[in-house]
Amino acid sequence: MAQIGLKEVVKKFGDFVAVNGVSLDVHDGEFLILVGPSGCGKTTTLNMISGLESPTSGEIIIGNRVVNDIEPGERGLGMVFQDLALFPHMTVFENIAFGLRVKKTLEPDIDRQVRAAAEAMHILPLLGKRPAQCSGGESQRVALARTIVNDPSVFLMDEPLSSLDAKLRVDMRTELKALHERLNATFVYVTHDQAEAMTMADRIVVMNGGLVEQIGGPLDIYDKPASRFVAGFFGTPTMNFLQGEIVAANGALTFQCEHIEHFLAENTPDSLAGKQVILGVRSEHVVVNSGGQQGQVKLIEPLGDVSLVFFESGGQEQLVAKVAPELRFSSGDQLTFGFQAAKCHLFDFDSGTRLN
């Protein structure tokens, strides 16, 4: 039983409120990722689950018991830290064996279990080395082996991949996901990297300013962001945002701003007419060379499989469209564009919450 529950959890450091009433449920065997910008409270939330921080108010439940007053070591958790926290004065073997020695495991058992964990993480040849002699990826595996060997039902990970280079990071993502499948344990993972969250998570919790903005599957969050913040946080390049007003004309709703007029999808609620809104549209939903708007190309970023075209349409904001690489533009070219009506997101101008 390894489901985790947070009920109205608050954490204050003096006057600073790091986590401001977070409630969420982590299901047994789930890969849940807490994501958000620095200072959003995601690491503090993780630390409260682990027991390294105690909540100012609220309840933390692991399995069926409230663990607020239970020592970190007695919660049945394993944790991988951002800096990995390998003990520099011990060999890899001793690092992995640490938890077993705490539990006073018999020496032959320690040897067998450490070797099994090392074998699972493909680090058998490293057992005699010190952490300082291991490369970044190797240290990562040592940290994972040290956690696995204690056989926790919940794995907590605090940005464990942030110290790796880009290529290794992508490889480790796949490996972590495979590890999750194999161990069948609950993973709670903290990251600020939206791509990492998208690729690995069963569910994502998006946090901002100590609050949960949205909880959902990766594609739910991508396709239906609950707020302007979430919309802007997920996806590269960042979603296009235009500020304007919804106008009812001839029985249809249109979005109007300084230079752009866009017919909204039919299912847009009529009650929105006359409202100040922010229209968001992802670059892949900007249609180029059709549609009624005029724009001027400012910059092209060819990525190979697609090209990003940055253009202006008279207004202040620069827009970006993801286009097929065959479409060749150069800076200064005129283009026509439009938005796919069904893929447009409307957010309240003041609160940023989703309207459609």
Contact with another protein (CB under 8 A) among 45, 113, 150, 293: 150
Nearer of residues 90 and 124 to another protein, judged by Cβ: 90
Of the candidates 224, 227, 175, 226, the one whose C-alpha atom is nearest the C-alpha of residue 196 is 175
- State how far Cα 318 lies from the chain centre: 26
Q: Does residue 83 interact with another protein by CB under 8 A? A: yes
Write out the binding residues for another protein, residues 53-82 only, by CB under 8 A.
Answer: 71-74, 77-79, 81-82
Residue 44 sits in the site that holds another protein (CB under 8 A): no
Smallest separation, CB 249 to another protein (Å): 60
CA–CA separation, 13 and 9 (whole Å): 14
99 interacts with another protein by CB under 8 A: yes
109 binds another protein (CB under 8 A): no
By beta-carbon proximity to another protein, the closer residue of 163 and 294 is 163
Q: Is residue 102 involved in binding another protein (CB under 8 A)? A: yes
Residue in 181, 175, 110 with CA at minimum distance from that of residue 146? 110
Under a CB-based contact definition with an 8 Å cutoff, are residues 79 and 148 in contact? no
In whole angstroms, give the CA distance from residue 135 to residue 90. 16
Which amino acid makes up residue 343?
Answer: K
Residue 38 Cβ vs another protein, minimum distance, rounded to whole Å: 17
Q: Rule CB under 8 A: choose which of 36, 41, 55, 131 binds another protein.
A: 131
- Interface stretch with another protein, choices 19-27, 50-58, 106-114, 331-339 (CB under 8 A): 50-58
C-beta neighbour count of 250 within 10 angstroms: 5
Q: Residue 150 Cβ, how far from another protein at the closest point, in Å?
A: 6
Residue 103 touches another protein, criterion: CB under 8 A: yes
Q: Which of 38, 69, 106, 132 binds another protein (CB under 8 A)?
A: 132
Shorter beta-carbon distance to another protein: residue 88 or 251: 88
The encoded tokens of residue 262 equal: 């866009």
**In this structure, what DSSP letter does residue 284 have?**
G
Q: Which is nearer to another protein, 82 or 243 (CB)?
A: 82
Which residues on neighbouring strands pair with residue 345, listed in sequence order?
280
> CB-wise, 20 or 82, nearer to another protein?
82
Q: Are 277 and 349 in contact (CB under 8 A)?
A: yes
Which of 21/63 has CB closer to another protein? 63
Listed residue (100, 99, 76) closest to 152, CA to CA: 76
Antiparallel, parallel or unpaired: β 31-35 and 203-208: parallel
Cα distance from N-terminal residue to C-terminal residue, the chain: 39
Q: Which residues bind another protein (CB under 8 A)?
A: 50-52, 71-74, 77-79, 81-83, 85, 87-89, 98-99, 102-103, 131-132, 146, 150
